[in-house]
Amino acid sequence: MNGKRIVLGGLLAGFAMAVLDGITNAVIFGKAWKAAYQALGLPGENAGIPIFWISFDLFMGIVIAWLYAAMRPRFGAGARTAIYAAAIEWLLVHLTLYSHLVDGVFPRGALLGTSAGEAVAAVIAGLIAGKLYREAA
């Protein structure tokens, strides 16, 4: 596997995810998240939250790129494999977050809505990572 391409493609994929997730979570569902945090007695504005999620998206972009590189010999190069890699990342993250559907900590609409937006972001990130990945010469 080409480690440099995994990191480069992963960081670009993660940057795209961070931008798209920012639109989903701050612009589209921002009021719902602010209300949810306030209902829990937490401050609605916390600079640490976006810093964490931006860092998380950058890391997850690298994970998607690594998954793509690892899956490529078996599934072939291209968009289908990139989408598979993105789907694995999305499922692992969101199945964990769906625990909040059971415990009722966060509103169902905000969780499911942002999850749908983040599925789109993950697929776009996977396509970016897949497009940029090349095997080491």
Q: pTM for the complete prediction? A: 0.91
The residue among 48, 45, 51 whose CA lies nearest residue 30 is 45
Residue 12, in any domain of the structure: yes
Residue 137, in any domain of the structure: no
| Tokens representing residue 13 in the block | 């994929």
Q: Above pLDDT 70, what percent of the chain?
A: 99
Residue 78, in any domain of the structure: yes
The region of weakest confidence among 7-11, 65-69, 97-101, 121-125 is 97-101
The residue among 18, 4, 31, 50 whose CA lies nearest residue 117 is 18
| Contact call for residues 24 and 50 (beta carbons, < 8 A) | no
For the segment 46-97, what is each residue's pLDDT rounded down to a tens digit? Answer: 888 889 999 999 999 999 999 999 999 999 999 999 999 999 999 999 998 8
Question: Domain tally for the chain?
Answer: 1
| Ordered DSSP codes for 83-102 | HHHHHHHHHHHHHHHTHHHH
Q: Above pLDDT 90, what percent of the chain?
A: 73
Residue 125, in any domain of the structure: yes
Residue 111, in any domain of the structure: yes
Q: Can you tell me the mean pLDDT for 96-120?
A: 90
- Domain residues for the domain of 11 are 3-132
**Inter-CA distances, 29 with 3, 107, 113, 118, Å:** 36, 11, 8, 12
Contacts of 22 (CB under 8 A, 6+ apart): 50, 54
